[in-house]
Every structure is written in C-alpha cells, then in structure tokens.
C-alpha cells in the first residue's frame, strides 16, 4: 500500500462542512494513520460572499438513472437529525465525479419548466464542474429550482454534490 491522503465529507449542518482527513504512511511493514476532523465555515449572512446554507452529499447513482434535486425542498439527515434546506438564492453549485475509470461521465443540468431536460455540462471521470456567482447569486424560483444529474453509463458512478447559498429572499 502506498502513502495516501484521503478527504471524506463527514457531515454538513447549515453553513458548516465537516471533513475527515486521513493520512496513511507506509514505512516498511508499518502503517501509520493520522485522522483529522476539521470544519469549513462560510461567513453567515445574505450579503455578497456570504451564505447561510451549505448542502453537501456524496452519492452513488445507479446506471442509466437521473437524480433530481429541488433547491426549494432538500432534506439531509446529518448526525441523526433531519435538516431541511430551502435555497432562495444560490451562490455555488459543484459536482465532482469521484470515479477514475475512462468513460464514466455524468451529465449535469436543469429543467426550467420545460419537458426536455437541458444539460449544462458533462463531467468526466476524476473531474469537477462548478458554477459560482458569489456576488449577486442566482434567484431560485419554482421554474429553475431543479438540478438534475444523469448517469447514462452501464455502471454506477460515485459523485459529490455541493450547494452554497442563502435561505433569504432576494431583495
């Protein structure tokens, strides 16, 4: 086993992401593992560069499947507590394809009230896609609140989804 460092999302509550970082070092037949739990907190508020909601999830999407996330009605169980999320403004969306095998790509898109799904990006293995508007943010309405992630491959894909925004109405 080679030396390695891995980051795993441990929990998310409102505006805090908790990460567990494990550093493994191999010296001969001895393995040394060091685990650190750290939090990343975004400035609380609805102003430019601030947020009061952070949603993060690591998921596995089955083959030939589409997952839909409604930004106005998200739920996540963190630390045994069901935490509701309602994004009124979105500052960042990020999708990370955790797979490394060639050809295992994800498609990311939205369906703004139309019957045809429009994909904004294709995320290849080991790659990420993100959109950020940290100053003005995007106003979330019923017509643009659904984010879709599609796996058109014959194999399941592991990915991470990150959303940062505010629960306050745009002024």
Secondary structure (DSSP) of the chain = ---EEEEEEEEEETTEEEEEEEEEEEETTEEEEEEEEEEEEPPPSSSTT--SEEEEEEEEEPTTEEEEEETTSEEEEETTEEEEE--SEEEEEEEEE---STT--EEEEE-SS-SS-EEEEEE-TT-EEEEE-TTT-EEP-TTS-EEEEEE-SSS-EEEEEEEEEESSPP-
Predicted TM-score (pTM) of this structure = 0.70
pLDDT computed for residue 142 by the predictor: 86
Q: Are 81 and 39 in contact (CB under 8 A)?
A: no
- Domains of the chain from N-terminus onward: 49-166 (2.60.120.10)
**d(Cα 137, Cα 87) in Å, to the nearest integer?**
11
**d(Cα 124, Cα 60) in Å, to the nearest integer?**
15
Could you list the pLDDT tens digit for every one of the 171 residues in the chain? 566 665 565 655 555 656 666 777 777 777 777 776 666 556 667 776 677 888 888 899 999 998 988 899 887 665 566 767 889 988 888 899 999 898 999 999 865 544 456 678 899 998 888 887 766 778 888 888 888 899 989 999 999 998 888 888 776
Task: Give the residue from 18, 40, 55, 27 showing the smallest Cα distance to 140.
Answer: 55
Q: Are 57 and 161 in contact (CB under 8 A)?
A: yes
Backbone angles phi, psi at 103, to 5 degrees: 90, -15
């Amino acid at each position: 086993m080679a030396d390695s460092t891995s980051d795993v999302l441990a929990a998310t509550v409102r505006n805090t992401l908790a990460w567990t970082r494990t550093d493994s070092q191999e010296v001969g037949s001895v393995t040394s593992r060091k685990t650190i739990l750290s939090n990343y907190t975004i400035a609380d508020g609805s102003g430019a560069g601030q947020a009061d909601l952070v949603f993060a999830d690591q998921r596995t999407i089955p083959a030939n499947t589409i997952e839909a996330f409604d930004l106005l009605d998200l739920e996540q169980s963190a630390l045994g507590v069901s935490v509701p999320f309602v994004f009124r403004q979105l500052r960042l969306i990020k999708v990370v394809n955790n797979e490394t095998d060639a050809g295992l790509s994800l498609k990311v898109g939205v369906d703004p009230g139309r019957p045809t799904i429009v994909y904004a990006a294709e995320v290849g293995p080991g790659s990420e896609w993100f959109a950020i508007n940290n100053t003005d943010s995007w106003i979330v309405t019923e017509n643009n609140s659904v984010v879709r992630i599609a796996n058109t491959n014959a194999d399941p894909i592991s990915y991470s989804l990150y959303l940062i925004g505010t629960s306050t109405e745009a002024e």
